[in-house]
């Protein structure tokens, strides 16, 4: 069953989505070489709770943290801990928050180096994949149209699309129907209708698409050890237009004044 949201419910989702976006900008303020991933997690949980929210991931299928922090060859679901972030790392920070009964979900990949062109290109392309997917997410289009746009762009740039993990509906639950793959065929899958709220989250690998789950049972990494990037937005399909409920504008304001890419 797909749960379509009313305009009022979408307004509530916007509030949780803005909280997630601001939480990621708090991370952007402090992320730098030498910092531990657990300190970022503590900061995110405090920020969400002090704004009246609840971390969406903590306790979800027994996941113990607020953030997923995935570094370099880690694709998604990296667990915060003692690991220190180093110069030249690419770091995906994924965050969900629940406010007024609705979840928002978003991820951003930071680059902590200066000039590795191949990493910068991977991040740029993955963010473009997300934007191109969102452009296809209009009333009357189909789920496969989103995936096709993402896949075509990634492959054109010489990258591969992770198949084992996908985007999802989002709302009262963190994960709802429908599934939102980052690959597919134009004109395939369910038709997008007004009130559909989904999280689009391309995971793009510099090398091959194959991934595996680490022995911690959470972290998903590339098999070939090459870097992977991940960007995610929560969006709402409206009658006239599609609204991106999460935003990178707060993150980008912070990054424009810093050395982090």
CA 177 to chain centre: 17
Of the ranges 10-18, 54-62, 155-163, 238-246, which one interacts with ligand MF3 (CB under 6 A)?
54-62
CB 75 within 8 A of CB 228: yes
CA 95 to chain centre: 8
Nearest-approach distance from CB 249 to Co ion, in angstroms = 20
What is the distance between the terminal CA atoms of the chain, rounded to a whole angstrom?
40
Of the ranges 2-10, 24-32, 60-68, 204-212, which one interacts with ligand MF3 (CB under 6 A)?
60-68
Of the ranges 18-26, 55-63, 81-89, 233-241, which one interacts with ligand MF3 (CB under 6 A)?
55-63
Q: Which residues contact 46 (CB under 8 A, 6 or more apart)?
A: none
Q: Does 105 bind ligand MF3 (CB under 6 A)?
A: yes
Nearest-approach distance from CB 107 to ligand MF3, in angstroms = 6
- Peptide bond between residue 178 and the one before it cis (omega within 30 degrees of 0): yes
Q: Does 61 bind ligand MF3 (CB under 6 A)?
A: yes
Nearest-approach distance from CB 259 to ligand MF3, in angstroms = 27
Residue numbers 146-185 binding ligand MF3 by CB under 6 A: 168
- Peptide bond between residue 179 and the one before it cis (omega within 30 degrees of 0): no
Q: Does 19 bind ligand MF3 (CB under 6 A)?
A: no
Q: Does 63 bind ligand MF3 (CB under 6 A)?
A: yes
Member of 73, 89, 94, 148 binding ligand MF3 (CB under 6 A): 94
Nearest-approach distance from CB 95 to ligand MF3, in angstroms = 8
161 binds, among ligand MF3, Co ion, none (CB under 5 to 8 A by kind): none
CB 22 within 8 A of CB 108: no
**Distances from the Cα of 96 to the Cα of 21, 56, 144, 249, angstroms:** 9, 5, 25, 17
**Which residues of the shown chain bind Co ion in the complex (CB under 5 A)?**
105, 199
The angle formed by the CA atoms of residues 1, 175 and 179, to the nearest 5 degrees, is 65
211-213 and 220-222 as β-strands: parallel, antiparallel, unpaired? antiparallel
Q: Does 60 bind ligand MF3 (CB under 6 A)?
A: yes
Q: Does 89 bind ligand MF3 (CB under 6 A)?
A: no
Residue 59 CA neighbour count, 13 Å, CB half: 7
CA 222 to chain centre: 17
Closer residue to ligand MF3, CB minimum distance, 80 or 189: 80
60 binds, among ligand MF3, Co ion, none (CB under 5 to 8 A by kind): ligand MF3
Q: Give the interface with ligand MF3 as residue ranges (CB under 6 A).
A: 57, 60-61, 63, 68, 77, 94, 96, 105, 107, 168, 199, 232
């Amino acid at each position: 069953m797909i749960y379509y949201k009313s305009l009022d419910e979408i307004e509530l989702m916007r509030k949780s989505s803005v909280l997630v976006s601001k939480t990621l900008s708090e991370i952007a303020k402090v992320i730098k070489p030498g910092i531990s991933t657990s300190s970022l997690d503590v900061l995110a949980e405090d920020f969400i709770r002090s704004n009246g929210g609840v971390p969406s991931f903590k306790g979800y299928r027994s996941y113990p943290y607020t953030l997923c922090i995935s570094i370099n060859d880690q694709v998604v679901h990296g667990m915060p801990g003692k690991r220190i972030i180093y110069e030249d790392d690419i770091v995906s920070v994924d965050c969900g928050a629940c406010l007024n009964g609705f979840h928002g979900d978003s991820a951003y990949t930071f680059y902590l180096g200066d000039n590795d062109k191949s990493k910068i290109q991977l991040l740029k392309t993955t963010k473009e994949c997300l934007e191109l997917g969102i452009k296809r997410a209009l009333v009357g289009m189909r789920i496969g149209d989103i995936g096709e746009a993402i896949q075509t762009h990634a492959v054109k740039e010489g990258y591969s699309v992770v198949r084992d993990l996908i985007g999802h509906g989002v709302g009262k639950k963190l994960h709802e129907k429908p599934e939102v793959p980052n690959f597919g065929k134009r004109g395939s899958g369910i038709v997008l209708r007004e009130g559909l709220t989904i999280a689009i989250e391309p995971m793009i690998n510099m090398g091959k698409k194959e991934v595996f789950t680490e022995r911690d049972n959470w972290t998903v990494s590339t098999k070939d050890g090459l870097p992977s990037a991940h960007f995610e937005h929560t969006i709402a399909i409206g009658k006239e237009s599609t609204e991106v409920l999460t935003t990178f504008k707060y993150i980008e304001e912070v990054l424009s004044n810093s050395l982090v890419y």
